[in-house]
Amino acid sequence: MGIVLSNEEKKSLFAFLAFYTLSAAILIGVIAYMYYKKELVAIEDKCSIQMSNAALMVEKELMNAQLEESEYVFASPSPNLHIGLFGTDGSKIHSNLENDTVLLSKRAYKNNTHEFHIDTLGIPIFGVKYIVVEGQEGKKSRINLLTLISIIAAFSLCFVGFVGYVLSQILLEPIRSRMHQLNNFIKDSSHDLNTPISALMMSVSALKKKKELDMRLINHIAISSKLISQIYNSLAYVAFCDRDIVLDEKFDLRLVVAQSVRFFEDIAAVKGNNIEIDLEPTSVCMDRSRAQKIINNLLSNAIKYSYANTTIRVKLANHILSVTDSGEGIKKEDQALVFDRFTRRSKEQGGFGVGLDIVQSVCREYGIKIKLESSVGVGSTFNLTFAKVD
């Protein structure tokens, strides 16, 4: 599935690719330049050797002709090289050079079109004092080398740019996914907060019109306030858990569970659910507020996903806390995902998808083992095993 980018994201992506490609181009350019300089020395050495060997062959032929007292036949030892024979006064004796002007005072040099090698004979032979070798192999080799380096550099730059683009897309994918989750989270937050707030405002408005206290309205206000409080506690923990002051202490977990059950009884009653408890004294050592967050989120989760007019069972025995609901259950393939942040078991039930993430976070912090047992259409049981305290 392709990623649709906003204008700001496109600008950031292009800026990243431009900087990435420019950096790669500079690096490739430096490597290419160093390679070119190295190969250029090798080309010049090779050409120098070839031209020097050609001059020696011409000198050898001149010497053989002189020893045999035969006529010297002028010929170039290589089709790619041109030869010029000059006398002591610089006059041309034999030549097929393409340049008319030659600097006989130099041993080797090059102009814009050719390279030259001048071999000076100690004793002139047949009047020949200077043997000049002219060639273009060095220039051709340099052009070929530059062409090859340019092609490789261009291909490398395109490849690096393509890799950078692919990497940026790969890096953007989880960011886009997270942004999508956050957008949904904000929408769901607005919806879920609106329900208890609207109920609270309506109840307060209706209560003002009555001359006597209406316990039904008071109950609605209490339930709405509790829902808002639970939502706030969950969001505050997600946002500021790293700043919370943690105070580990030894206490009876049974008392905290009982307190949370009393808090959620009114909320459960709205759906006709009742909470059944079976609690044994259980000593634990941890932050009391974090323990309450675990229990509150498990109870809230159980109420949310239970069928109406069913029983939610809470049991605490042998350092194992079990919260069982009678609801739609969780598919086996989805059970590992319910603890991920912003993941919800059902869109119809609302929620933020942070409750079980909080539970898992606290359990990891204190080494509490979590076990989920669930059957579709039957319900789910969350078992938390706490460490024993002496």
Q: Considering 140, 170, 194, which residue would you say is the last residue of a domain?
A: 140
Indicate whether this model's pTM tops 0.85.
Answer: no
Give me the mean pLDDT over the 284-298 stretch. Answer: 87
Q: Considering 87, 112, 140, which residue would you say is the last residue of a domain?
A: 140
Which H helix or E strand runs over 69?
none
Angle between helices 253-270 and 215-240 (to 10 degrees): 120
Helices of type H across the chain: 7-67, 137-209, 215-240, 253-270, 288-305, 355-366
pLDDT above 90 covers a percentage of the chain that reads 20
Residues in the chain: 390
pLDDT in tens, 152-211: 988 988 888 888 888 877 777 777 766 666 665 555 555 556 556 665 666 666 666 666
Domain membership flag for residue 162: no
Is 50 exceeded by the pLDDT of residue 2? no
What is the domain extent for residue 295?
240-385
Give me the mean pLDDT over the 40-60 stretch. Answer: 88
Whether 129 and 260 share a structural domain: no
Domain membership flag for residue 213: no
The rounded distance, in Å, linking the Cα atoms of 33 and 214 is: 88
Is 90 exceeded by the pLDDT of residue 11? no
Whether 260 and 132 share a structural domain: no
pLDDT tier, 221 (very low <50, low <70, confident <90, very high otherwise): low
Is 90 exceeded by the pLDDT of residue 253? yes
Q: What is the DSSP letter of 388?
A: P
Domain membership flag for residue 78: yes
Domain membership flag for residue 327: yes
Whether 254 and 370 share a structural domain: yes
- For residue 339, give the CATH number of its domain: 3.30.565.10
Specify the number of domains making up the chain.
Answer: 2
Whether 246 and 116 share a structural domain: no
Domain membership flag for residue 153: no
Which positions ≥6 away from 148 have C-beta within 8 Å?
Answer: none
pLDDT in tens, 100-122: 888 988 888 888 888 999 999 98
Q: Write down the pLDDT at residue 350.
A: 47
**Which residue has tokens 């009884």?**
265
Domain membership flag for residue 169: no
β-partners of residue 252 are: 283
Q: Which two tokens stand for residue 49?
A: 């050797």
pLDDT tier, 1 (very low <50, low <70, confident <90, very high otherwise): very low
Q: Which two tokens stand for residue 63?
A: 């010497």
Domain membership flag for residue 225: no
3-state class (DSSP) for residue 35? helix
With vertex at residue 208, the alpha carbon angle to CA 206 and CA 209, rounded to the nearest 5 degrees, is 70
Give me the mean pLDDT over the 352-363 stretch. Answer: 76
Domain membership flag for residue 303: yes
- DSSP of 358-373: HHHHHHHHHT-EEEEE
Q: Considering 95, 125, 140, which residue would you say is the last residue of a domain?
A: 140
Whether 129 and 253 share a structural domain: no
Q: Categorise residue 296: left if φ over 0, alpha if ψ from -120 to 50, beta otherwise.
A: alpha
Whether 136 and 244 share a structural domain: no
Q: How far is CA 364 from the centre of its chain?
A: 27
Which range (23-37, 236-250, 358-372) has the least confidence?
236-250
Q: Categorise residue 379: left if φ over 0, alpha if ψ from -120 to 50, beta otherwise.
A: left
Q: Write down the pLDDT at residue 165.
A: 80
Give me the mean pLDDT over the 328-347 stretch. Answer: 71
Q: What is the mean pLDDT of the chain?
A: 81
Q: Which two tokens stand for residue 276?
A: 């059944």
